[in-house]
Structure 1
């Protein structure tokens, strides 16, 4: 089981997700934690300069890429960690993580499930 956990951890750490904006002019690549690794902007975006729109497109594209990366990590760890537990961890929901830990220590089970 330890070998499987190590293998899954390495697979999750290798997750890279690239998402393109709806107009195809912005591409964002994020890692497993949703951190931005690369941002590509097609020069055609400057044909209609609108800094607010560009900022919104970049933000939306990065958010969608991060959501896909988190989903992939949930899928990778699904054999070992229930999705609700992993999701709370990935989202930094310490209250839920601590409650789940306390419940586990008290012998209560949490159901898995997928997103």
Structure 2
């Protein structure tokens, strides 16, 4: 008799088979997808068009361009806020693009949990899949 708290062996086998298939897919497409994800760059312009921010796949700042017209309005706090807001939109865009690239081999919810550093949710997804709950 199996405990109600333990996943049954058939579900665990099915999950192991699914992991093996996922691993094969990642292996087959991995290098190409990895190169695509590493090459992601997203550029966003501020609403006023005076600030342009480019970020890489992890949201890291790659380039910052400031239109010379910003010096006509010397509000440093406003400029700083504009740069931060524009960089945040660019980082969100980069994250979405990386997720789209990797989604064929890594389920979106699991990838997002990992990108968020949300170990609890990532483990919950793993437990659900092991129990066959999807």
> TM-score with structure 2 length normalisation?
0.74
Q: 1:40 & 1:3 partners in 2: Cα distance?
A: 39
Query: In structure 2, which of residues 56, 76, 79 is the aligned counterpart of residue 31 of structure 1?
Result: 56
Larger radius of gyration: 2
CA deviation vs aligned residue, 1:70-104 (integer Å, no higher than 9, x gap): 11011101111111111112222222223333444
Q: 1:24 & 1:90 partners in 2: Cα distance?
A: 30
Q: 2:132 & 2:64 partners in 1: Cα distance?
A: 44
Secondary structure of the residue aligned to 1:23 is: coil
CA RMSD of aligned residues (A): 1.5
- The answer on 1:85 being equivalent to 2:130 is no
- More helix as a share of residues: 2
Secondary structure of the residue aligned to 1:79 is: coil
Matching residue of 2:34: 9
Q: 2:30 & 2:93 partners in 1: Cα distance?
A: 21
Query: In structure 2, which of residues 63, 75, 100 is the aligned counterpart of residue 75 of structure 1?
Result: 100
Q: 1:35 & 1:23 partners in 2: Cα distance?
A: 22
CA deviation vs aligned residue, 1:39-88 (integer Å, no higher than 9, x gap): 11111101011011001100100000001001101110111111111111
> Which of 1 and 2 has higher RCO (CA within 8 Å, sep 6+)?
2
> TM-score with structure 1 length normalisation?
0.85
**Gapped regions of structure 1 (runs ≥ 5):** 111-115
